[in-house]
Amino acid sequence: MRRPPQLFTLNKDAARSLQRETIEKYLGAKRGKLRYFGLPSSTLGDAKDWRDLFAEFVAVERGDSGKEWELQHELAFQAFRLSLLGSITLLRGDIDAIIKKGRDSFGKKAVFPFDVVSLDYSGGLFYRSTSGELERLKAMDALMARQSEKQASFVLLISCNLDQVDAGEVRKTIENIRTELARYGLEAKKVTAAYLNHARDEARLKIYVPYFVNQIAAKYHFNCETQEVIFYEGNNKTRMMAFRFYCAFDPRTESLRPPRERLNQILNKPLTEIVDGKPRPNSLGLPQLSSPDKEEITDAK
């Protein structure tokens, strides 16, 4: 008996629509020829909604421990039902391991580069291995390295829930951001304090994730452009966030350069909340940081 398909909310559908806008904005010229790599779920929501944009979907499915075949079979059945079998390539196993090793649990290769990479981490970003490493953050670094080897610009989509936020990792990073801003002569104490002391983890991840992605992107010769950060309530009132980046490969110098996006640009990036399937601005009451040539700090409207 087939297991019931995964269900998604109107908010998830709206988030996917905003992700599509990012893909079209940066990769519209390659419409119909794009290659996708990621976690589209067994319902193949990404493939179904974006089929006109892509020539190939490389879909990763790990499945539940001990019965991995069930969700993998469900994905293949859904591809058949949607007439997508010809454009779907299935990789079996953990996506982080596949990125790092370059092949799935059965030895099937993941052929880099890809135009769009979608990391839909339903279990959160801060999963630690038995050795204590933050596996998903390490995988993002490995992804940048693989894309850089091919000098390939791409759209990176990251989704996560907020069930297991590593408060220590996030807080220490924001404190590092505060130190870095001070070196640039920017008065950032009030702004960073507002993030550190905010009641919601969405506020802190709003700067943590773009800062992290910008740092690893620059390490591998990418200029990163961050889109507005999305947050919404998913199934069972799970708090979700979605991040969108365009990583443009820039080989002008062998010497590494700092991220092109300035810290005040990351801090001031708008937030979008999706409620009942409708996106709307919501700053969460967070202050903005003035540009380097201004001294005042103004509250976001």
Listed as own residue / partner, the contacts of 140-145 with beta carbons closer than 8 Å and 24 or more positions apart are: 140/212, 140/213, 140/216, 141/216, 141/219, 142/99, 142/100, 143/99, 143/117, 144/216, 144/217, 144/219, 144/220, 144/222, 144/247, 145/220
Please state the length of the chain. 301
Return the beta strands (E) in 167-238 as ranges.
222-226, 229-233
Return the beta strands (E) in the chain as ranges.
34-38, 54-61, 88-92, 116-121, 154-161, 222-226, 229-233, 239-249, 271-275, 278-281
What are the pLDDT digits (tens) for 37-63?
A: 998 877 888 999 999 999 999 999 876
* Higher local confidence (pLDDT), 1 or 284: 284
Q: CA-CA distances (angstroms) from residue 191 to 147, 187, 297? A: 34, 8, 8
Residues 6+ apart with CB under 8 A from 219: 141, 144, 256
What are the pLDDT digits (tens) for 188-233?
A: 788 999 999 999 999 999 999 999 999 999 999 999 999 999 999 9
Distance CA 241, CA 18 (A): 13
Residues 6+ apart with CB under 8 A from 69: 63
CB atoms inside a 10 Å sphere around CB 3: 12
What are the pLDDT digits (tens) for 16-32?
A: 999 999 999 999 999 99
- Across the chain, mean pLDDT equals 89
Is pLDDT of 184 > 90?
A: no
Model's pTM, two decimal places? 0.91
What are the pLDDT digits (tens) for 112-122?
A: 999 999 999 87
- How high is the pLDDT of residue 2? 45
Nearest 5°: the CA angle 250, 252, 258 is 65
SS3 278: strand
Distance CA 282, CA 162 (A): 18
Q: CA-CA distances (angstroms) from residue 27 to 17, 59, 171? A: 15, 20, 35
What are the pLDDT digits (tens) for 71-104?
A: 787 888 888 888 888 899 999 999 999 999 999 9
Is pLDDT of 185 > 80?
A: no
Structure tokens at 134: 């933050």
The amino acid occupying position 267 is L
* Residue-range domains of the chain with CATH: 10-163+202-281 (3.40.50.150)
Backbone torsions φ then ψ of 128, nearest 5 degrees:
-105, 140
- How high is the pLDDT of residue 295? 41
Q: Which DSSP state fits 244?
A: E
Distance CA 144, CA 247 (A): 9
Q: Is residue 162 a contact partner of residue 121, using CB atoms and an 8 Å limit?
A: no
- How high is the pLDDT of residue 129? 84
Mean pLDDT of 135-161: 97
Structure tokens at 268: 């001031």
What are the pLDDT digits (tens) for 234-289?
A: 988 899 999 999 999 998 877 778 899 998 899 999 999 999 999 999 999 999 88
Burial of 72 (0-12, 13-18, 19+ CB in 10 A): buried
- How high is the pLDDT of residue 22? 98
What are the pLDDT digits (tens) for 162-181?
A: 988 999 999 999 999 998 88
- How high is the pLDDT of residue 272? 98
